[in-house]
A and B are shown apart, each in its own frame.
Chain A
Amino acid sequence: MAYNDKMRALYQEQLEGLKAAGIFKQERYIHSPQAADIEVEFPEGSSLRKVINMCANNYLGLSSHPDVIKAAHEGLDRRGYGMSSVRFICGTQDIHHELEKKVTEFLGTEGTLLFPSCMDANAGVFEAVLTKDDVMISDRLVHASLIDGIRLCSAMHDTFKHSDMAHLESKLQLHSDKRLKMVITDGVFSMDGDTAKLDEMVALSNKYEAMLLVDDSHASGFIGKTGRGTHEKCGVMGKIDIITTTFGKALGGASGGCVSGRKELVEMCRQKARPYLFSNTIAPVVVAGVLKVLDILNASTEGRDKLERNAAYWRKGLTDAGFVLKEGDTPIVPVMLFNAKLSQDVSRALYDEGVYAVGFFFPVVPQGQARIRTQISAAHETRHLDKALDAFTKVGTKFNILGKTKQEIIEMYGN
């Protein structure tokens, strides 16, 4: 047994350090389907508590939609539970191919390849299409999964300041000698809720002959007038070379992701992307569910329209109450607290008031920018939002942060 007392003590000390710093993460056990109202066991062993969920990626409220559940049941019956294979051996069913075609139509691209998750799509896409002769230029706030994929690629990597187009242009000029250049961004930034300037990025990419990759995981299904994503909102449908996105958020919330874009790039991923080649296919039951989700979204924009109204209502309510928010117009509304421990304490106090909203702190967000990230859903009714606003106001009063500026909050609690 190599795992000796010395090793155990080393890890125990690290874990105790996280607890002492007030940044130890604990799971909360949910005993109900994903929804606006959920039943939660927290801490472990305590009685169940009914709370309003304000932190799910269930933007369109489709995670437990009866039509999606029914379609998943039918998919389970018709195509079985598992495939026991990666895609290219014997893991591709007709419905996987059908979903790839439907996603392509939905996003307005040339082709699509499914991955077990968007994390996997991002892990595999760069090494599949770039080499050491190329350069990747990414926004400094892109999602961790993109950073991991970039790390796995032999191409040179550089960054530009968040949403700073002049800085991006300077980097495109700096790396003008590279064989291929790829600009990389989130569509909607997951922790801040702001939107990439894709129209300007397309123009710059054209000017400097760069490809553009967008991770639209926090946008697919609801951003843009018909929910196609950030490229629809910015008026650049058909002009993004690669879109990566997930089915684990608005599009049913189960699992799975994809690379969608120029057909040659998608085909390179099919030939070379390691998470596609060496990880299991998406379960048929999930594929059947996502197919139904796309049918629902193609039939009506009712869900994304309601989500847009809900998000505006929620943002106005928090602003009127006196919280410091990150600016934006998406369903991600970060309530800024700056101090890591304060974010945990506020989260716990909200839970006691019947609201489930998690605090985020370094390294998930930059040092000194701890926050409660609230996420609005089309599953929320006005009564949910009003009750949650009451709880936030009560907790904000308790911690004396309402009407306070960033500087005043930092003076009280540190950052």
Chain B
Amino acid sequence: MDNMKDMILKYVIEEYMEEGGDPISYDTPLISGGIVDSFSMVSLKRFLENKLKISIPDDQATPEAFDSVNKISDLVKRFVK
């Protein structure tokens, strides 16, 4: 699953990080840490759904479930066939 984590991490860096910002890891808090606002989470969810051909129910796409690369990976794994 490291490939998936790397894919998510790469997307988060390209999508949300400012140039010259501190590096982030699989465990860096994304939403509670202010890197990703809860609005922008939408694009991450849609990116994963399109990329992996899955559908994540809105009630499970919570800020808590999207708060780190590790947590996102855990969530996504449940829907990948």
Does chain A have a CB within 8 A of B46? Answer: yes
Query: Considering the chains assembled together, what is the distance between the CA atoms of A174 and B46 in angstroms?
Result: 7
Does chain B have a CB within 8 A of A308? Answer: no
Min CB–CB distance A134 → chain B (angstroms): 13
Q: Check A174 against B39 for contact (C-beta < 8 Å).
A: no
Q: Closest A residue to B34 by CB, please name it.
A: A367
Query: Considering the chains assembled together, what is the distance between the CA atoms of A150 and B37 in angstroms?
Result: 14
Min CB–CB distance A246 → chain B (angstroms): 24
Query: Considering the chains assembled together, what is the distance between the CA atoms of A59 and B50 in angstroms?
Result: 47
Q: Check B40 against A174 for contact (C-beta < 8 Å).
A: no
Q: Closest B residue to A173 by CB, please name it.
A: B50
Set A150, A174, A367: member contacting B43, Cβ < 8 A? A174
Chain B interface residue count, CB cutoff 8 Å, equals 9
Using C-beta atoms within 8 Å of the partner chain, give the interface range for chain A.
under 10
Does chain A have a CB within 8 A of B42? Answer: yes
Q: Check A175 against B39 for contact (C-beta < 8 Å).
A: no
Query: Considering the chains assembled together, what is the distance between the CA atoms of A158 and B39 in angstroms?
Result: 6
- Binary contact readout A166-199 vs B (1 if CB under 8 angstroms, 0 otherwise): 0000010011000000000000000000000000
Min CB–CB distance A394 → chain B (angstroms): 32
Does chain A have a CB within 8 A of B79? Answer: no
Residues of A within 8 A of B37 (CB): 159
Set B40, B47, B50: member contacting A159, Cβ < 8 A? B40
Q: Check A158 against B50 for contact (C-beta < 8 Å).
A: no
Does chain B have a CB within 8 A of A156? Answer: yes
Given A171-B43, A175-B46, 18 other A-B residues pairs in contact with their CB atoms under 8 A: A150-B39, A156-B42, A157-B39, A157-B42, A158-B39, A158-B40, A158-B42, A158-B43, A158-B46, A159-B37, A159-B39, A159-B40, A159-B43, A174-B43, A174-B46, A174-B47, A174-B50, A367-B34
